[in-house]
Amino acid sequence: DVKVTQSSRYLVKRTGEKVFLECVQDMDHENMFWYRQDPGLGLRLIYFSYDVKMKEKGDIPEGYSVSREKKERFSLILESASTNQTSMYLCASTTGAGAPQPQHFGDGTRLSIL
Amino acid sequence: QQQVKQSPQSLIVQKGGISIINCAYENTAFDYFPWYQQFPGKGPALLIAIRPDVSEKKEGRFTISFNKSAKQFSLHIMDSQPGDSATYFCAASKNTGFQKLVFGTGTRLLVSP
């Protein structure tokens, strides 16, 4: 069974702090994604990565960066946290090959910026 | 062109009834249409998916109906159960190696006992 693990379920940080959200998957998947989920807005793609050290901007990348140094790990970085980044953050992974495959999600990190 | 519009935002159905959630898209390059189910405190999980070469796909009580000319697709949950109470997201993607999905805004379904 695919497991996507997000390092924290809940996180509280202060405005201006640099924040790291970590995600690890155990299925050797090529593709990894970071989304934020807000009520009434659904899931919006922040960044994704299709290989180690490769990254692509999603629909709302402003204020975020990512790092993928190892295939199993994908980190989301809030360079200088702001209150409008308070949200639920979801990580997902999927294999890159062939026909469309399910995205496997972690259980999310609820981040509050004070 | 990248949006997927989903309705209704919330839905209450009696146990045993039919739940219907609708989605519409603009981008004709989309060719994969999954539905994800999310329970409170959990990440979304794939429920059922369809490609545009068929008009309907059924898995148990869950059916996707797809209308390519209208650029619409819908999820039907037959004999809805309280355990189906969850948030449902439709999504769409182009058939590329990146597997990048565009999600709808979600429907919160409550099935009353």
Contacts of B25 (CB under 8 A, 6+ apart): B3, B4, B5, B71, B72, B73, B92, B102
Q: What is the pLDDT of residue A97?
A: 67
Q: What is the pLDDT of residue A17?
A: 97
A56 contact residues in B (CB cutoff 8 A): 98
Q: What's the confidence (pLDDT) of residue B11?
A: 97
Task: Specify the pLDDT at position B13.
Answer: 98
Q: For chain A, say whether B1 makes contact (Cβ under 8 Å).
A: no
Give the per-residue pLDDT at A85. 98
How much is the pLDDT for A101?
83
CA distance A84 to chain B (A): 19
Predicted confidence at residue A61, as pLDDT, reads: 96
Blockwise average pLDDT, block size 10, chain B, 113 residues: 88 98 94 95 95 93 95 97 98 79 96 95
CA distance A15 to chain B (A): 25
Distances (CA, A) of B108 to A17, A47, B84, B91, B102: 34, 26, 10, 15, 18
pLDDT tens-digit series, residues A38-97: 999 999 999 999 999 899 999 999 999 999 999 999 999 999 999 999 999 999 999 876
Instruction: Kindly give, in sequence order, each residue whose CB lies less than 8 Å from that of residue A44, ignoring residues fewer than 6 positions away.
Output: A35, A36, A37, A38, A58, A59, A60, B103
Give backbone dihedrals phi and psi of B102, rounded to 5 degrees, phi first.
Answer: -110, 125
Identify the pLDDT of residue B100. 85
pLDDT score recorded for residue A95? 86
Q: What average pLDDT does range A5-34 have in this prediction? A: 95
Does any CB of chain A come closer than 8 Å to the CB of residue B46? yes
Average pLDDT over residues A16-21: 97
Please report the residues numbered 80 through 99 in chain A whose beta carbons come closer than 8 angstroms to any beta carbon of chain B.
90, 92, 94-97, 99
